[in-house]
Chains A and B, each alone.
Chain A
Amino acid sequence: MGIYREEITNISEKSTEELFQFAVTDDNKAEETAYSNYSYWRSTWKSFLKNRLAVFLLVVVFIIVAFTILQPYFPLQKSPTEIYIDEQTGSQARNITPNSEFWFGTNSIGQDLWSRIWAGTRTSLFIGFAVALVEAVVGITIGALWGFSRKLEMPITQLYNIVDNIPTTIVLILMSYILRPSISTIIIAMCITGWVEMARFIRNQIVILRDREYNLASKCLGTPGYRIIIKNLLPYLISVIMLRMSLAIPFAIGAEVFLTYIGLGLPISEPSLGNLINEGRVLMMSPDLRYQLIFPSIVLSVITIAFYIIGNSFADAADPKNHV
Chain B
Amino acid sequence: MLWYIGKRLLQSVLTLFIIITIVFSLLRLMPEEGYLGAAAEKMSPEQQEVYLTNLGLRDPILVQLGNFYGNLLQGDLGKSVTYRTDVPVVTIIGDKIMYSLLFGLGAVALSLIIGVPLGIMMAHLKGRWLDRLGTGYIVFIVAVPAAVYYLVIQMYITDIFHLPMLFDEYNPISWMLPLISMALAPIASYAMWMRRYMVDELNKDYIKLARAKGVKERTLMFSHVLRNAFIPMAQYLPATILFTITGSIYIESLYSIPGMGGLLVDAIQRQDNTVVQGLVLVFSSLGIIGLILGDIAMALVDPRIKLGKGESVR
Identify which of residues 280-300 in chain B touch chain A, using a CB-to-CB cut-off of 8 Å.
Answer: 280, 283-284, 287-288, 291, 294-295, 298
Among B31, B138, B284, point to the contact of A165 (Cβ < 8 A): B284
Closest to A216 in B: B313
What is the interface residue range for chain A against chain B?
35 or more
B291 / chain A contacts, CB cutoff of 8 Å: 157, 160-161, 200
Complexed CA–CA distance, A165 and B151 (Å): 29
Determine whether A8 belongs to the interface, using a CB cutoff of 8 Å to chain B: no
Q: What residues on A are CB-neighbors of B265 within 8 Å?
A: 169, 262
Interface-forming stretch among B79-87, B110-118, B302-310? Answer: B302-310
Please report the C-alpha to C-alpha distance between residue A318 and residue B203 in the assembled complex, in whole angstroms: 12
Given contacts A158-B14, A305-B139, A308-B142, contact A174 B22 (CB under 8 A): no
Chain B interface, number of residues (Cβ within 8 angstroms): 64
| Interface status of A32 (Cβ within 8 A of chain B) | no
Query: Which residue of B15, B27, B147, B151 is within 8 Å of A162 (Cβ)?
Result: B15
The CA-CA distance from A309 to B280 in the complex, in Å, is 38
Closest to A212 in B: B304
A43: Cβ under 8 A from any B Cβ: no
Is there contact, CB below 8 Å, between A161 and B250? Answer: no
- Rounded to whole angstroms, the CA-CA distance of A171 and B23 in the bound complex is 10
User: Within the assembled complex, what's the spacing in Å between the Cα atoms of A16 and B66?
Assistant: 92
* Cβ proximity bits A294-324 to B, threshold 8 Å, 1 near / 0 not: 0001001100110011001001100101100
Residues in B whose Cβ lies below 8 Å from that of A174: 26, 29-30
A contacts, CB < 8 Å to B: 150, 154, 157-158, 160-162, 164-167, 169-171, 173-174, 177, 200, 204-205, 207-208, 211-212, 216, 219, 239-240, 243, 247, 250, 254, 257-258, 261-263, 277-278, 281, 284-285, 293, 297, 300-301, 304-305, 308-309, 312, 315-316, 319, 321-322
Give the contacting residue for B19; candidates A166, A212, A300; CB below 8 A: A166
Q: Tell whether, in the assembled complex, residue A250 and residue B142 are in contact, meaning their CB atoms are under 8 Å apart.
A: yes
Structural contact, A164 and B287, CB atoms closer than 8 A: yes
Query: Roughly how many angstroms separate A238 CA and B305 CA in the complex, as a whole number?
Result: 21
B281 CB to closest chain A CB, in angstroms?
9
CB-based nearest A residue for B8: A157
A162-B18, A281-B148 known; A304-B142 Cβ under 8 A: yes
- Given known contacts A169-B268, A208-B298, A247-B142, is B11 in contact with A321 (CB within 8 Å)? no
State in angstroms the CA–CA spacing of A284 and B154 once bound together. Answer: 11
Whether A239 contacts B139 in the complex (CB less than 8 A), given A162-B19, A219-B313, A284-B151, comes out as: no
Known contacts A170-B27, A211-B306, A257-B147, A304 near B139 by CB under 8 Å: yes
Contact with A along B130-152 (1 / 0, CB 8 A): 00000100110011111110011
Q: Which of A157, A164, A301, A322 contacts B11 (CB 8 A)?
A: A157
